[in-house]
Amino acid sequence: MLSTLTSLHGRFFTSLESITNGWLLGLAARFVFAAVIYVYYLNSALTKVNEGFIGFFQIRFGAYIQILSEGVLSGYGFDAANVPFFPQYLMVLFGTYGEFLLPLLVVIGLFTRLASLGMIGFILVQSYVDIAFHGAGDETIGAWFDRDSTSLIMDQRTLWIFLLMVLIVKGAGSVSADSLLARWWKNRN
């Protein structure tokens, strides 16, 4: 009886893995990213630029506060024009437009592995800034291996990073712009 159950278990999950291999995990990870994280980053990015087409290319002062912090900006007299080009202005520029571009690339599955790696870096820097410069408290920071799984940084962002690691390791899958690009590249020769 036990060997029959073990055999049935093995056949079922081997078949399930075979049927879903190459398409389900990447598609599901990108769907969960879109459902849980994408709108969060889109709304955050929209707070950093002005409205309209031209406004998209104008970075708001709030972007400097969110990315560099008030403490850093106080050294420049709270004037964005005084912020040095390198590295602070570049951090704000890349942070602002990276927050638009990287999540979009993950959702559509284009350059997914690189975009996911960039998002992990983004999340780590965001978490550091939240803790070091924006004064995130112990409840917001949280801790691993405690009985409370609701902290924004250690719990939530760890799950975000895990989701992105799945995309780095497995890729976007066959239902993605990466797959279309690979087929186009292969057929063009």
Q: Is 55 a member of any domain?
A: yes
Taking a C-beta distance cutoff of 8 angstroms, is the pair 48, 96 a contact?
yes
Residue 2 lies in a domain: no
Q: What is the pLDDT of residues 45-54, one digit of tens each?
A: 999 999 999 9
171 within a domain of the structure (yes/no): yes
Tell me the residue range of the domain where 102 lies. 25-187
Are 22 and 95 in contact by the 8 Å Cβ rule? The answer is: no
Q: Residue 13: inside a domain, yes or no? A: no
Per residue in 25-74, pLDDT (tens digit) is 999 999 999 999 999 999 999 999 999 999 999 999 999 989 988 888 89
* Chain length of the chain: 189
Gap between the Cα atoms of 63 and 9, Å rounded: 53
Q: Looking at residue 68, what is its pLDDT?
A: 86
Q: Would you say residue 161 lies in a domain?
A: yes
Domain contains 7: no
Closest CA to 177 of 187, 169, 185: 185
In a domain, 111, yes or no: yes
Please report the pLDDT score of residue 70 as a whole number.
Answer: 83
Q: Domain for residue 6, yes or no?
A: no
Q: Give the DSSP letter of residue 147.
A: S
> Number of helices (H) and strands (E), helices first, in the chain?
11, 0
Q: In this predicted structure, what is the pLDDT of residue 69?
A: 80
Q: What is the pLDDT of residues 90-136, one digit of tens each?
A: 999 999 999 999 999 999 999 999 999 999 999 999 999 999 988 89
Is pLDDT of 15 > 80?
A: yes
The yes-or-no verdict on residue 189 having pLDDT over 90 is no
Distance CA 187, CA 30 (A): 26
Which residues touch 97 (CB under 8 Å, ≥6 apart)? 45
How many domains, the chain?
Answer: 1
